[in-house]
Amino acid sequence: MTLSTIGVIGSGTMGGAIAHQMALSGYLVRLTDVSQPALSRATERIRAWMDVSVTKGKMTQQDANDTLDRLTVTTDLAELKDCSFAVEAVFENLDVKQRIFAELDSTLPKDAIIATNTSSMSITVLAESTQRPDKVVGMHFFNPPQVMKLVEVVRGYKTADDTVAKTMELARGLGKEPIEVKRDTPGFIVNRILIPQMLEAIRVVEEGIATPEDVDKAIRLGLNSPMGPFELQDYTGVDVGLNVVDHFYEEFRNDRWAAPLLLRDLVRAGRLGKKTGAGWYDYPSEKR
């Protein structure tokens, strides 16, 4: 598949890193956000990531410069008008995503594919905001997208076979291993399986069975996972986890997915993990 420039909408942790991975893989990328400071922060994160890679001898400074040359940033979504593929990666708010989908639909060429990196929302519902539901697809990356090999390619009710095939092809072009998620269900595969582990880990702490630090140690050393469930939440964002859980609760209407109060407490206390500098560790034990 020959692709012209790829558009990425949303320059947060995931959007910025997805754009980075695309530029690293040789694609021309246009990254857009409503906030210029957010775009500058994303560019800084990309630069810092490549500084590490250059220092480790994994890439040359020339390659890093060339990667940055392939990436342009803009606050004007209309500048995506020549993109043949776009990946939406804004925060998990349905209204915002639907507005962006409608805008992308009127901006992009008629045959362009609109993908979403949503971690839980319905592809079918998002596709309804466009006149091209057959060209709307889920393209779910994992954090950090530069490292994690998996991409879930999610079929909405009306997604065409050709859209799925082209999205799988792009994922392979990014050096990823795509898998097709055949039905549009909350959380797709990985989050559907990961979230129960996260909820059970929080319940273990609430019941006073072990501290978050020891639960992480248990999972790291007992299951050979690179991170325990609390480290992982701090890494991906405690608020991101809560959003997904709340969404599951609404969709499945089952108490099994009710967010533990402790999780909500942490978010209310602003302990969102890496991005705020405080998360599960050192949360006063009397509050647990």
Catalytic residue numbers read 119, 140, 152, 191
- Least distance between ligand 3HC and beta carbon 189 (Å): 11
Provide the 3-class DSSP secondary structure of residue 86: strand
CB of 140 to ligand 3HC, least distance (A): 6
Between helix 229-236 and helix 190-206 the angle, nearest 10°, is 120
Specify the DSSP class assigned to residue 273: B
The letter for the amino acid at 100 is: I
Residue 52 C-beta: closest distance to ligand 3HC, Å: 4
Strand-pair partners of 29: 6, 71
d(CA 212, CA 281): 7
Least gap, CB of 8 to ligand 3HC (angstroms): 16
Q: Minimum Å distance from CB 109 to ligand 3HC?
A: 29
Task: Give the three-state DSSP class for 274.
Answer: coil
Instruction: Select 83 or 232, whichever has its Cβ closest to ligand 3HC.
Output: 232
Torsion of CA 187, 274, 44, 140, to 10 degrees: -10
Residues binding ligand 3HC (CB under 6 A): 49, 52-53, 56, 58, 119, 142-144, 147-148, 191, 226-227, 232, 236, 240
The residue number with the shortest CB distance to ligand 3HC is 119
Nearer to ligand 3HC, 1 or 52 (CB): 52
Nearer to ligand 3HC, 132 or 140 (CB): 140
DSSP code of 258? P
CB closer to ligand 3HC, 133 vs 228: 228
In the bound state with ligand 3HC, the residue whose beta carbon lies nearer, of 7 and 145, is 145
Tell me the sheet residues that pair with 178: 151
Nearest to 199 by CA among 170, 166, 229, 232: 229
**Beta carbons within 10 angstroms of residue 152's beta carbon:** 21
